Amino acid sequence: KIAAAFGFAGLSSATAYIRRDASALVDNATLDGLNQPGYAAAKGDPVSLDQTVLSQELRLASPDEAGRLRWIVGASYIHARYKENQDIATSALADGGALTGRQQVDRLRSQLGAYGELDLRLRQRLTGSVGVRVQRDSYNSLQQVEPFPPVVGEQDFSIEGASTPVTPRFSLTYQANAG
């Protein structure tokens, strides 16, 4: 986080980033279709995960929080990606639950938003506020199943969409006590 004070406003910026890579070998005794319990029947099933998330917010606010007129404007951005690979056993592709393919998941989500709010103290204990947030959301998900052996071909499941919600805010606040 970075913050700076100017005569006309205070500026703050907050950035976060995460990158996570993981791989594991999980026991999936159903890979051979026999579903046998115990350590001797354990079957290694490799799983991998790759995830990244970046978020950024930039905010400009009036310098006097106790002033009669207060305001704030800002923008935010989030970009997230999630990828996963795993061998699967499913009766949806073959009877018996035997190893039937590899599942690959790739999801992408992004948000870009802007907001502003204006507060006006009407009386000593009465404040009116008006604000709005506009945001663009987009989502894209692709899940692929590659069967072993490639008899029926790859199966793809895809979802994508976007929206632009606008959220207005109006309030009138009365503070009952002076403290």
Please report the pLDDT score of residue 97 as a whole number: 47
pLDDT in tens, 94-119: 444 455 677 888 999 999 999 999 99
pLDDT of 138 over the 60 cut:
yes
Please report the pLDDT score of residue 148 as a whole number: 67
Tell me which of 113 and 23 has the higher pLDDT.
Answer: 113
Mean pLDDT, range 141-168, rounded to an integer: 82
Percent of the chain with pLDDT over 70: 79
Q: In degrees, to the nearest 5, what angle opens at C-alpha 127 toward C-alphas 124 and 133? A: 160
| Mean pLDDT value across the chain | 84
pLDDT of 132 over the 50 cut:
yes
Query: Residue 117 is encoded by which pair of tokens?
Result: 């709010």
pLDDT of 32 over the 60 cut:
no
pLDDT of 45 over the 90 cut:
no
Read off the amino acid at residue 78: I
Tell me which of 53 and 177 has the higher pLDDT.
Answer: 53
Give strand pairing partners of 140.
108, 160
Mean pLDDT, range 39-51, rounded to an integer: 75
* pTM exceeding the 0.75 threshold for the entire prediction: no
Query: Max CA-CA distance within the chain?
Result: 77
